[in-house]
Amino acid sequence: MNVLILGGTGEARRLAGELPGHAVISSLAGRVTAPRLPPGPVRVGGFGGADGLAEWLLDNEINAVVDATHPFAATMTATAAAVTRELGVPYVVLRRPGWRQGPADDWRWVDSVAGAAGTLPAERVFLTTGREELAAFAHLDGHWFLARSVEPPQPPLPRQLTVVLDRGPFTVDGELTLMREHRVRVLVTKDSGGEMTAAKLTAARELGVPVVVVRRPPLPGGVEVVSGVAAAVSWVSGIAGV
């Protein structure tokens, strides 16, 4: 079969190497200059909306789509779900489980990054929401921010901002050192799930730092969801009748 894998997540990269016998194309959004590439053919950039995606799927005779985008890539997921439904192309969302709060964690859940900006319990803030979300905090002149991203962020930005350019996976010791060095008093993150960036949550627990956690956007109604690479491989095999 011709299989399209959407997303530059770790799960997407692993899945691309676990589908022998199929013609797999991986699609990356193109937001990072030097992304980690999966094995096999890769396309980079948007499709040009729903019409562009539909045309691309038809032109490339795609038989199945696995959406392994980031849990917060809501627009891409909504578009892919609608287009594949209209075309009758089998579609599944590969979505890692979210993080689970433990009894020793001080987490404050919010529905959006804007909501997080209005729910900061301290003034020295560690932002790990991604460089494209920093604008939501730009108006908070009374706060100091530490932001971590793969590439430098673009304005608008908070007035008091220190940027650390780094890419996971991160260690608990490294996160403890970073948070102590910058005297972080609150951590802001999205519920991305996975192990690559979970060390910050352990560090926050050990330091007694509260965490403002942005909930995941809801998935489109009626989509099939699997939670691991092995399950996605089984889904593809089922579609192929193997």
- Residue-wise pLDDT tens digits, 171-202: 999 999 999 999 999 999 999 999 989 999 99
Per residue in 201-235, pLDDT (tens digit) is: 999 999 999 999 999 999 999 999 999 999 999 99
pLDDT(31) > 80: no
Judge if 81 and 118 occupy the same domain.
no
Per residue in 115-154, pLDDT (tens digit) is: 999 999 999 999 999 999 999 999 999 999 999 998 999 9
Judge if 146 and 195 occupy the same domain.
yes
- Give pLDDT, residue 34: 73
More confident site: 55 or 240:
55
In a domain, 52, yes or no: yes
In a domain, 127, yes or no: yes
* 217-190-35 Cα angle (round to 5): 100
Residue partners of 203: CB distance under 8 A and separation at least 6: 172, 175, 176, 179, 209
Task: Show the domain range for 37.
Answer: 2-97+219-240
In a domain, 233, yes or no: yes
Cβ atoms 135, 157 nearer than 8 A: yes
In a domain, 102, yes or no: no
Judge if 200 and 229 occupy the same domain.
no
- Give pLDDT, residue 242: 64
The mean pLDDT of 8-24, rounded to a whole number, is 94
- How many separate domains does the chain show? 2
Judge if 223 and 155 occupy the same domain.
no
Residue partners of 4: CB distance under 8 A and separation at least 6: 25, 26, 27, 57, 60, 62, 64, 65, 66
Judge if 91 and 7 occupy the same domain.
yes
Judge if 127 and 42 occupy the same domain.
no
Work out whether strand 144-149 and strand 161-165 pair parallel, antiparallel, or are unpaired: parallel
Judge if 113 and 207 occupy the same domain.
yes
pLDDT(30) > 80: no
Judge if 12 and 91 occupy the same domain.
yes
CA distance 231 to 216: 21
CA distance 69 to 71: 6
46: CATH = 3.40.50.720
pLDDT(9) > 70: yes
Taking all residues of the chain, what is their mean pLDDT, rounded to a whole number? 95
Judge if 86 and 132 occupy the same domain.
no
Judge if 189 and 161 occupy the same domain.
yes
Judge if 80 and 124 occupy the same domain.
no
Say which range, 5-9, 100-104, 234-238, has the weakest mean pLDDT.
Answer: 5-9
Give the predicted TM-score (pTM) of the model: 0.92
Query: Percent of the chain at pLDDT above 90?
Result: 91
Judge if 89 and 141 occupy the same domain.
no
The mean pLDDT of 32-61, rounded to a whole number, is 92
In this prediction, residue 35 has a pLDDT band, given cuts at 50, 70 and 90, of confident
Cβ atoms 161, 147 nearer than 8 A: yes
Amino acid at 139: H
